Structure 1
Amino acid sequence: MARSYEANLETSDELAAVNEMLSAIGESPVNTIEGDSNADVANCRRILNAVNTEVQSMGWTFNIEEDAILTPDVFSKLIIWLPDYLSVKAPSGTTVYVNRGGYLYDRNAKTDEFTQPVTVSLIRLKGFEEMPTQFRTYIIAKAARRFNIRFFGAAEIEASLQLEEQDAWARVQEFELEYGAFNMLDGDAWVAGRLTR
């Protein structure tokens, strides 16, 4: 099954998100978003996709893959950069890989050819339906606020949307703290350095 990596949802989840964004500015909901020539719907979808990518690119417990192994092609020695890669780094954080011509490129070694598999820390763009509810709620709230600011600028709506976004952000932080398994003694480079003295 082909997967769209633009997070272009085209599902009931996207329809619900677009309708929430429309209702935030007092517009009527729509029954479909496919083939709709409504400029508000098109703008909602565009902003929703942009905010989704922006938020996910920060890296969260649900879309970070630690110690992912990327294997080069046997003949070309190239590693394909998949469209859902938002960030690729060496686990140590010292090597940053970038997309160069659709292939993984090591900026430190200045090469896109690899003779061995590469172990990386990967941030991947997940489908909207694959995200925890807290993140979907936050993305919709942030997108609705941005939609209002860019196209309507209603101050009374802005204040309400800002509160919704702040509340949703707090839920995201709670989720991360609960599921992140963070440890201040071994998860921080500065603390680790002090402990090894």
Structure 2
Amino acid sequence: MYKPFTYIFDPFKVIKENKLEFFIWFVFTILAGQLGILANIIIRYFSHSMSVSQAIYLDSASGSFYTYAIAVAASALGPLFANFIKNKKPEFTSLKIVSIIIVMFFLILSGIIYAAVQIKSLTASGVPMGANLTLDLPQFTIYVLSIFIGLYTYCLLKISSPDYEHLEDSFYEIDDATVRDVVKESKSKNDDGSGIAI
């Protein structure tokens, strides 16, 4: 039976398959990407006696979270394209195509919003005492979405590798089964009865 949500979220199964590899990827791709923001918070807290919420607000006001979101999405798009082009076996095509389209639109949207934030950026270098410190909700949403996109593309690319062949059945039964059958049929040779292989 066709279960679209199961199909969409199946790539996350690779996380359980190799927790160490996922941990290494997560630390160096997701956490290490936050070092600029974390450094700002630590420096502002210890050097300028600024509260953590004020420090985060300043990063939000300057668009730091948008910058990170754009970097993560861009780094996910390259491997997706490379995998799609170099992979001889046309597997997981619909998921990869849809993922590429979503990431491209996400990048364009994030870039436009970031440019708008920069044009309208605050001229004040500090945060006035007693100011209402509200997190920029669209920026935070895009920031969280970028982490999800990075995670999803990691899993999607991993599930195509030989190490995870046992997870492929759920994908094949939905849309890759057709592609796989066509490829198999094109490779098989049939005799037309007169000794000519078709």
TM-score after normalising by structure 1: 0.24
| The structure with more strand, counted as a fraction of residues | 1
TM-score after normalising by structure 2: 0.24
**Which structure has the larger Rg over C-alpha atoms?**
2
Bigger RCO (CA 8 Å, 6+ sep): 2
| The structure with more helix, counted as a fraction of residues | 2
